[in-house]
Amino acid sequence: MNHKRKYAVMTAVSAILLMLFAVLGQAAPAVTDADDKSGAVTESAAVQMTDGITAAADSSENNAKSGSSVKKFFNNWLPYLVAGIANGGQYALIAIGYTMVYGILRLINFAHGDIFMCAGLMLVYFSASLNIFISIPLVLILTVLLGFLVERLAYKPLREAPRMSVMISAIGVSYLLQNLAFYVTSGLAKQYPVIPFLSNSVSIGSVQVKTVTVVTPFLTIILILLLQLLIKKTKIGMAMRAVSFDFETSRLMGVKINSVISMTFIIGSFLAAVGSVMFFSAYTTVTPTVGAMPGLKAFVAAVFGGIGSVPGAVIGAFIIGLVENIIKGISNGEYSTFSDAFTFALLIIILVVKPTGLFGEKLKEKV
């Protein structure tokens, strides 16, 4: 009986072991499949992660390239844009003299560019014996006096003369000033003195520019705002507007025409003197004919914006300054020779489209 029980127990144990091995045998492939699936999922996740990292790296690289391109563009073009704005400010200070005189007398003061040149030469000679900060105010005063004398001696006696006579007188004054400058300088170029504050260099980003390049546009805007206040808020400004609107009627109404015209030349000469300080601090060589091209470009700016309009002259001057410097910047200066020609070509196009300039008033003809 005991043997039977032992045999039964052994048989049962053997059966249990066989069943256990069978279960384990079936479970083993199941676990392997799960591991394979898990491994596949892990591998897929790893691939996705790698792709994500690669995409992020590519995006970062593209952003870096984009940032590098913007920085390169900024570094390449910033000097030309800053110089263009500065040149525009210099032309604007000269152009205001042209446009104010024309607005009142209907006269192109061709001697205005030479007054600008004389201001530069005076500072060259005064600074040789006087402190620069004494020389600058002295030059401003003497330039104003020069403009006043030109008006009184060359233009006032011809007030009732035909307009062509006054224009010939203006051309004669221009040549007179140039020849006096040739006599004084013996035709040699003179080095403009160093003005400590304006001749320093400042950094804009990674670009080094002279302080005068940064100061010029801000100083120009301040002077123009003060001029607008003078024209709009003072008696002499009201008289200027009246004479500009109707010369003969203003005279009949008791406006002191001669005083208004003299004040116009004084303001124009003062602004030309300030413009000369800004211009020659950047371009340090003064010659007897140096006023010709800046004066001509300022005149073009006045016509471009609408001669007789102060805001038009200023905007025209800034446009011309920017355009000529952008032309210089194209192809690393390859087309810089054509910068002046392009300026005058642009003027021709504007006058063909709008003969009175950008802000000029339409002329009304009486029938």
In DSSP notation, 350-365 reads: HHHH-TT-SSPPPPPP
Instruction: Compute the average pLDDT of residues 133-144.
Output: 96
> Same structural domain for residues 246 and 311?
no
Q: How confident is the model at residue 215 (pLDDT cuts 50, 70, 90)?
A: very high
For residues 215 and 68, the model is more confident at: 215
> Same structural domain for residues 256 and 339?
no
Looking at the predicted structure, is the pLDDT value of residue 82 above 70?
A: yes
Residue 28 within a domain: no
| Residue ranges making up the domain that contains 317 | 291-362
Over residues 183-198, the pLDDT tens digits come to 999 989 999 999 988 8
Residue 44 within a domain: no
Residue 18 within a domain: no
Give the max Cα distance, the chain: 159
Residue 113 within a domain: yes
Instruction: Compute the average pLDDT of residues 166-186.
Output: 94
Residue 111 within a domain: yes
290, 319, 343 — which closes off a domain?
Answer: 290
pLDDT at 286: 95
Q: How confident is the model at residue 18 (pLDDT cuts 50, 70, 90)?
A: very low
The total number of residues written for the chain in this structure: 367
Over residues 266-324, the pLDDT tens digits come to 999 999 999 999 999 998 899 999 999 999 899 989 988 888 888 889 999 999 999 88
Helices (H), the chain: 2-105, 112-126, 132-150, 163-185, 196-199, 211-233, 235-245, 247-252, 257-282, 292-305, 310-329, 339-353
Percent of the chain at pLDDT > 70 equals: 76
Percent of the chain at pLDDT > 90 equals: 45
pLDDT at 363: 54
Q: How far apart are CA 315 and CA 193, in angstroms?
A: 30
> Same structural domain for residues 107 and 121?
yes
Q: Which residues contact 250 (CB under 8 A, 6 or more apart)?
A: 239, 242, 243, 257
pLDDT at 58: 52
> Same structural domain for residues 301 and 224?
no
For residues 199 and 263, the model is more confident at: 263
Residue type for 19, please? M
290, 307, 324 — which closes off a domain?
Answer: 290
> Same structural domain for residues 300 and 222?
no
Residue 213 within a domain: yes
* CB burial of residue 222 (10 Å; 0-12, 13-18, 19+): exposed
Residue 218 within a domain: yes
Helix axes 292-305, 339-353, angle to 10 degrees: 30
Q: How confident is the model at residue 15 (pLDDT cuts 50, 70, 90)?
A: very low
Distance of CA 272 to CAs 140, 165, 184, Å?
Answer: 9, 25, 21
Average pLDDT, the chain: 80
pLDDT at 359: 79
Q: How confident is the model at residue 181 (pLDDT cuts 50, 70, 90)?
A: very high
> Same structural domain for residues 140 and 266?
yes
